[in-house]
Amino acid sequence: MRHRTKRARAASTVGAVIIAFSLIATACGGSDSSDSGGSSDTTAAPVEDVTPVPGGTLIIAGEAEVSNPWTPAAIQCDSYCQLRARAFYDPIAVVGEDREVHGWLAESITANADSTVFTIKVRPGISFTDGTPVDAAAVMYNLNATSGGLLIKPATKDLARNEDGTLVMESIDDMTFTLATGKGGDAASPVAWPTFPYFLTTQLGLVASPKWLEDVKAGTAKPDQPIGSGPFTFVSYAPGDKMVVKKNPAYWMKDKDGVQLPYLDQIEFRVITDSKVRQSALESGDVDLIATSDSNAIKPLSENSSFVWTKQEEYGEVNYLLINLAKKGPLQDRNVRCALGMAVDKVALIDATGAGFLAPAGGMMSPGQEGYLEDNGGPQFDVETAKQMITDYESANGDVKVIYSTTTSATNLLTAQYLQTAWSAIGVDTEVVQIEQSKLISNALTGADDFEAFGWRNHAGIFVDQQNFWWNGNGANPPPQLALNFGRLSDPVIDDLLAKARSEADPEIRRGYAEDINRQFGKECWTLPNSYTKWAVFSKPEVKGIGRTPTPDGTSTARDGAGFPGQVYTHALFKAG
């Protein structure tokens, strides 16, 4: 679906659009291909003292289908992908509600004195559902496979590698091994990396059966029929429709009372891309639980006493304009980018498309994150100055035209139309293109021709180091090479600050580096942030156990979000009544 506006529209049209859209919300589409450990602040409804009831089926709905399912090295994994993947894969570690890393398959993760070598001891007595053991060799196999994947490799550039590209790991015994760091992969140049254990809570840490992975490579097994050691096992998968998993009868985890997890017999995961349709599915009783970041869905559902809701607000994502900085054209010009930002009244945009529910974004780090600033110095709303900047550019270079891509959600289309009108007021032609979310992500990954400006949602996390692979210039691969650095950003100032932040153990010094990164984004208008995402998980009252999955060490619970918002762990879910 394509929509085009002409530059002849007057600035006063924006006001009319604000009124027309006053009851419509926005949820900027986009995704992470690797999650960012411990990214959301979760405020759950009060935990009821209800005895878990084993058995039953739960129907969960999410916003998007995964691309390249389901080998950990290949999946282009957004929030809903992570929720499903953790139903059949166990991770090496998780982030707890205390925001600390807790071993999951790992019994312990120990750094040496300068955080250049990590010793990982695997928890004994666990098997994959194909009967093969979860041991040091299996975890090492997965780390090699996933860290060598096209999507994850940029995130692991500072892990030491052998000449054949494998990670520098040393087996200590059947259940223990070491993993070394190295600048750019050079084992002779160790890199202090104090926050590296958090990366083991991400997609890098998902562990699949090595036998199955070998069979997939040999063509004797299917990549969309995953085998892990998780609480559920694969039953069926219809892309774009649903996935069914059933209880793993031999799962190794138990609750505090010694009852085996998971409680549920089966989960049906449905894909419902439109947030309003997903909301209706919950209201009609067709599904039991949904996650949404659409304010227009969150507001009415939160006011409906028929549902229980869990807020996930801090350490979250930013809704922003992602710009393809590698594509020749007007968006390579700083003044054009900044002018697009000046044309948008963030408060009015939120009022118009988000019912005033979201907070305007003052930078690329959300509240609570390292580097968060109320104002990073980016462009402020100023239509007349923006108009003059566009006029000056066009007098020397010709017309400014922008292709703006977003997902197929109706609310995202309305946000696109708002931006289209705002940019028209400063003399910019805008073509709006709606694309299914997984295709939108693929276009960004490959730098497709019509990837110019995207409505995007990304960059949850606690530490700025978790953004390294999104923003580091070493990942700015030219199209059509895949790049997690979707915008192909290459800024030496940001690269230097990211390197310093990676090796800095002092949190206050590290915070200063992160704030400077945020300011550099504002100075250069590399991206144009609009608002901070708020996520919510809504469920029927009979759905219990949200936020109650224990960490194996018994000292905390696994932090819902599984690394970034919009998720819950399924281990302790059950239906009462």
Length of the chain: 577
Alpha helices in 62-194 (DSSP H): 79-88, 136-147
- DSSP string for 4-27: EE-TT--THHHHHHHHHTTT----
φ/ψ (deg, to 5) at 340: -60, -40
Residue 248 · residue 39 · CB < 8 Å: no
How many CB atoms within 10 Å of residue 389?
Answer: 25
Alpha-carbon distances of 347 from 266, 528, 531, rounded to whole Å:
44, 14, 9
User: Tokens at residue 141, please?
Assistant: 């196999």
Q: Which residues of the chain have pLDDT under 50?
A: 1-46
pLDDT for the residue 17: 27
- Residue 576: DSSP 8-state: -
Beta strand spans in 169-254 (E): 169-173, 176-180, 206-207, 232-238, 242-247
Q: Give domain 42-66+230-312+537-575's CATH architecture.
A: 3-Layer(aba) Sandwich (3.40)
Nearest to 81 by CA among 93, 94, 69, 95: 69
Q: What are the tokens at 242?
A: 């649903």
pLDDT computed for residue 76 by the predictor: 83
Closest-CA residue to 379 (of 390, 371, 368)? 390
Residue 19: the pLDDT is 25
Q: State yes or no: cis peptide before 480, omega within 30 of 0.
A: yes
Each residue of 357-410: pLDDT tens digit?
889 999 999 988 999 999 999 999 999 999 999 999 999 999 999 999 998 877
At residue 187's C-alpha, the angle toward residues 186 and 192, to 5°, is 90
pLDDT in the model for residue 34: 34
Q: Does domain 2-32+315-532 have CATH number 3.10.105.10?
A: yes
Are 183 and 158 in contact by the 8 Å Cβ rule? The answer is: yes
Determine the topology of domain 79-218 in CATH: Dipeptide-binding Protein; domain 1 (3.90.76)
Q: Calculate Rg over the CA atoms of the chain.
A: 23
> Among residues 73, 214, 82, 77, which one has the least CA distance to residue 137?
214
pLDDT tens, residue by residue, 183-201: 999 999 999 999 999 999 9
Supply the pLDDT for residue 67: 86
Are 2 and 431 in contact by the 8 Å Cβ rule? The answer is yes
Q: State phi, psi for 78 to the nearest 5 degrees.
A: -90, -170
Answer yes or no: are the C-beta atoms of 181 and 117 closer than 8 Å: yes
pLDDT at 13: 28
Cα–Cα distance measured from residue 58 to residue 537, given in angstroms and rounded to the nearest whole number:
14
pTM score, whole prediction: 0.84
- Which residues are 237's β-sheet partners? 243
**pLDDT 10s digits, 428-478:** 999 999 998 778 888 898 999 889 999 998 998 889 999 998 999 988 989
User: What residues does each domain of the chain span?
Assistant: 2-32+315-532, 42-66+230-312+537-575, 79-218
Q: Which of 416, 443, 448, 445 is nearest to 432 (CA)?
A: 416
Q: How far apart are CA 371 and CA 500, in angstroms?
A: 14
